[in-house]
A = this chain, B = another copy of it.
Amino acid sequence: MNEISNKRPISNYKFVGQATPRPDGVDKVTGRARYGDDMIVPGMLYAKILRSPHAHAQILSIDTSKAEALKGVKAVMTGADIPTHPLAQPPYPPIIQDFHDLGLNIMARDKALYDGHAVAAVAATSDAIAREALKLIAVDYEVLPFVLDPYKAAQPDAPVLHDDQYTDGTGPDTDKPSNVFRVLGGERGDLEAGFADADVVIERTFTSEPVHQGYIEPMACLATTSEDGGVELWTSTQGHFVARTLLSKLLKMEMAKVWVTASEIGGGFGGKTTLYAEPIAVILSQKTGRPVRATLTRPEVFRATGPAAGSYCRIKMGVKNDGTITAGEADIWYQAGAFKGSPVGRAVETFFSPYNIPNTRAAAYDVCVNRPKVAAYRAPGAPMATFAAEGVLNELAERIGMDPVEIRLKNAVKEGDESLKGHKHGRIGLIEVLEEVKAHPHYKAAIGANQGRGFAVGYWLHGGGLSSASVILQDDGTVSVATGNPDIGGSRSSMRAMAAEELGLDVELVKPIIADTGSVPYSYQTAGSRTTYATGMAVINAARDVIDKLRDIAARKWEIATEDVRWDSGHALPPDARKGDIEPLSLKELAAMATKMGGAVAGHSEINATGQGAAFCAQLVDVEIDPETGFTATKRYTIFQDVGRAISPDYVEGQMQGGAVQGIGWALNEEYIYDAKGCLQNTGFLDYRMPVASDVPMIDTVIVEVPNPNHPYGVRGVGEPPLVSAPAAVANAVENAVGKPMSNLPLSPPKVLKAIEEVAAGN
């Protein structure tokens, strides 16, 4: 950990706010943690998936007979094996897609919609036989014209992916099939008057490319099914309850019969919030009566699992010379991939929300293109919109000669203000974050030749929702904390710390457990930076339930009223009047007594958490450009974030650093390279270049703590805000170094070199 801001509230917490040994640390560094591919059961078959080599093609026929005849092949499936679903809205709005599209994305039925789209799958007694069998499946395709760019795909003459898809009424063409499913927007004030009021108005167009979540562990799962309808699924997922819901609805099964266990997860970043191979493994298991394991390869992950949407954005903002932002207007086209569902709502919320701008309009278009369907990626939809809005704001500040932090302080939202989509802020910490930036040595530090400094602010409204927890007291006084949230970024540690703090028990005696979907009640997935907030609140409630039960035991032992028993630092205490007369009872003593006084002690909580609110993250970055190659090196990086309360500050710091690094990759390097036929060329980490440790400096963190009053410990979401402003900050630094606006991510060496040459040429 680097610095902890002086905004950190003074507290007497013993475990909350402390860095402690990682609950999952040893198992991960010893290779003992079991990921999706680490489960083996007797009789298991291996699944492999055949994928379309075309960006867009009619499937005229599939002949699986030769594959079926291969010795060792136990079953072959095609899209016809996935139940069809009428178009219908899912019950859980966030992330859960329409089941019609979900089924078609998992396996194409009549049309392959992108290079890599699954068209068939086999289950065989070995991985090698399964791979061999794929070669024996004959698919007759009629290749169709394709479109990859969202803005082009939104035009009337573009090839249309779905003949049966009309817009939902918000799009441009409601009377004929369209790639534009939806336009979401928001508006307030009088735009025309706002721009008229401005002294400076800037309009620019920004683009960004799809980027992959880049988790280290490819998707992997193992399905065992039974003739009586039972399904057991082991899978690498950010939410096994959501996987259970999706799977049971997609395959029309009863939820209680679909028993899902989350494997350890090797990264998700939003990308493991939907289904890919799971239904295929389940269907192949049902066909064969045997367990089936399906593990994707890295090329399959790149070709067929959701990246973040690429974007095309037109944006216009105006300021007065005193720095007041008078108006903002933005339109963004998101490439949803082959099926609708890009994060349009989040984009609209993102553009102008850090600032009080009286006159704004934002619109986001959800556009299908012949690419893999996008999935959530850490603050879905926000980094691209922030890249545009913060880019223009920085340029405006420069034009009026105002400090970039000051212009933001002048317009910053605070408690009581309302976002464009109508979220009314509670206590938020944008001003505190900006003050920390101003006070930080990095902000005024000198920069060298060929260097530039960038700055940007990001806004993110977190998720809350359904969470459950059981806090189980063992009779030796140790504790299990069972929740249904996979740990993608430290939730084991934060759950443990909060339970320990409540109970007054050393964290080492508290074991966080990620329980399966049969054993504990529903928790929504680990996504939306929600887990430490929402599931944490359930854990706190459940721990307090345990304390109430222990107070009751002490009361019965002491023959006094339960309400007269206090709980402090792991002990039941008698009322002051009885001090000396009655000895306190420790949690351990009470645990040993409990089973004789009515049964085991456990606390439970099932909640639908609200009040999570927003968080802000500012980033300051210095880059150095190699004028000969256009290569950009990140030299210094400081990230400032209001986390409400850092329950596990070492993990919080890791989240901030990780978000910054993913933003560096997004800004400088990562892009999908398609050939002329619409096929993805860079399907591995060698060609799809994500930053590694040697590519980045140590990322300094400033943890700002403006407690969220709606959470007992003041928690805000932590995971997503660091990515929101990172591409914007890095791009701004490159602009600053190069000396001209840079609007098209990634700012890869050829683009930077071209810009350097343009500047040199006076353009």
Cβ-neighbour of A518 out of B226, B228, B515 (below 8 A): B515
A25 at the interface (CB under 8 A from B): yes
**Contact yes or no, A257 B25, CB < 8 A:** no
**Contact yes or no, B42 A40, CB < 8 A:** yes
Cβ-neighbour of A26 out of B227, B599, B605 (below 8 A): B227
**Contact yes or no, B602 A598, CB < 8 A:** no
**Contact yes or no, A607 B602, CB < 8 A:** no
Known: A256-B511, A468-B600. A289 touches B226 (CB 8 A): no
User: How distant is A506 from chain B, measured CB to nearest CB, in Å?
Assistant: 10
Tell me, in angstroms, the Cα distance from A510 to B606 when the chains sit together.
20
**Contact yes or no, A27 B600, CB < 8 A:** no
**Contact yes or no, B482 A230, CB < 8 A:** no
A248 at the interface (CB under 8 A from B): yes
Residue of B nearest to A605 (CB): B599
Cβ-neighbour of A256 out of B226, B468, B470, B478 (below 8 A): B478
**Contact yes or no, B41 A38, CB < 8 A:** yes
Q: Which residues does chain B contribute within 8 Å of A83, judged by CB atoms?
A: none
Q: Which residues does chain B contribute within 8 Å of A31, judged by CB atoms?
A: 43
Q: Which residues does chain B contribute within 8 Å of A518, judged by CB atoms?
A: 472, 480, 482, 511, 513, 515
A461-490 CB mask vs B (1 if < 8 Å, else 0) is 000001110101011101110100000000
**Contact yes or no, A254 B607, CB < 8 A:** no
Residue of B nearest to A512 (CB): B518
**Contact yes or no, B595 A472, CB < 8 A:** no
Tell me, in angstroms, the Cα distance from A254 to B520 when the chains sit together.
23
From residue 148 to 192 of chain A, which have CB atoms closer than 8 A to chain B? Answer: none
Tell me, in angstroms, the Cα distance from A523 to B596 when the chains sit together.
13
Tell me, in angstroms, the Cα distance from A470 to B480 when the chains sit together.
15
A223-248 CB mask vs B (1 if < 8 Å, else 0) is 01011101000000000000001001
A316 at the interface (CB under 8 A from B): no
A694 at the interface (CB under 8 A from B): no
Q: Which residues does chain B contribute within 8 Å of A515, judged by CB atoms?
A: 515-516, 518-519
**Contact yes or no, B595 A470, CB < 8 A:** no
**Contact yes or no, B41 A34, CB < 8 A:** yes
**Contact yes or no, B30 A227, CB < 8 A:** yes
A522 at the interface (CB under 8 A from B): yes
Residue of B nearest to A609 (CB): B599
Cβ-neighbour of A520 out of B34, B519, B523 (below 8 A): B519
**Contact yes or no, B598 A608, CB < 8 A:** yes
Q: Which residues does chain B contribute within 8 Å of A519, judged by CB atoms?
A: 470, 480, 482, 513, 515-516, 519-520
A69 at the interface (CB under 8 A from B): no
Interface size on A, residues (CB 8 A): 68
**Contact yes or no, A606 B596, CB < 8 A:** no
From residue 595 to 627 of chain A, which have CB atoms closer than 8 A to chain B? Answer: 595-602, 604-608
**Contact yes or no, B256 A595, CB < 8 A:** no
Tell me, in angstroms, the Cα distance from A42 to B41 when the chains sit together.
11
**Contact yes or no, A478 B606, CB < 8 A:** no
**Contact yes or no, B30 A245, CB < 8 A:** no
A722 at the interface (CB under 8 A from B): no
Copies in the complex: 2
Q: Which residues does chain B contribute within 8 Å of A607, judged by CB atoms?
A: 598-599
Tell me, in angstroms, the Cα distance from A605 to B521 when the chains sit together.
14
Q: Which residues does chain B contribute within 8 Å of A135, judged by CB atoms?
A: none
**Contact yes or no, B522 A474, CB < 8 A:** yes
A94 at the interface (CB under 8 A from B): no
A86 at the interface (CB under 8 A from B): no
**Contact yes or no, A259 B226, CB < 8 A:** no
Cβ-neighbour of A608 out of B255, B510, B520, B595 (below 8 A): B595
**Contact yes or no, B40 A257, CB < 8 A:** no
A509 at the interface (CB under 8 A from B): yes
Cβ-neighbour of A254 out of B27, B255, B478, B521 (below 8 A): B478
**Contact yes or no, A595 B40, CB < 8 A:** no
**Contact yes or no, A230 B26, CB < 8 A:** yes
User: How distant is A300 from chain B, measured CB to nearest CB, in Å?
Assistant: 21
Q: Which residues does chain B contribute within 8 Å of A245, judged by CB atoms?
A: 475
**Contact yes or no, A509 B256, CB < 8 A:** yes
Tell me, in angstroms, the Cα distance from A244 to B349 when the chains sit together.
50
A32 at the interface (CB under 8 A from B): yes
A21 at the interface (CB under 8 A from B): yes
Known: A230-B27, A470-B519. A478 touches B598 (CB 8 A): no
- Tell which of A21, A226, A245, A480 has the most Cβ of chain B within 10 Å: A480
Tell me, in angstroms, the Cα distance from A474 to B247 when the chains sit together.
14
A762 at the interface (CB under 8 A from B): no
A16-56 CB mask vs B (1 if < 8 Å, else 0) is 00000100011100111010001111110000000000000
Tell me, in angstroms, the Cα distance from A254 to B480 when the chains sit together.
11
A505-545 CB mask vs B (1 if < 8 Å, else 0) is 00001110101111111110000000000000000000000
Cβ-neighbour of A91 out of B475, B478, B511 (below 8 A): B475
Q: List 14 A-B contacts (CB under 8 A).
A: A26-B226, A31-B43, A32-B226, A40-B41, A91-B592, A254-B478, A257-B511, A472-B521, A482-B519, A516-B519, A519-B520, A521-B600, A601-B606, A602-B606
Taking Cβ atoms with an 8 Å cutoff, the residues of A that contact B are: 21, 25-27, 30-32, 34, 38-43, 91, 224, 226-228, 230, 245, 248, 254-257, 259, 289, 291, 466-468, 470, 472, 474-476, 478-480, 482, 509-511, 513, 515-523, 592, 595-602, 604-608
Identify the 9 closest CB pairs spanning chains A and B, nearest first.
Answer: A256-B478, A513-B518, A515-B519, A519-B519, A522-B600, A521-B602, A255-B474, A256-B511, A599-B606
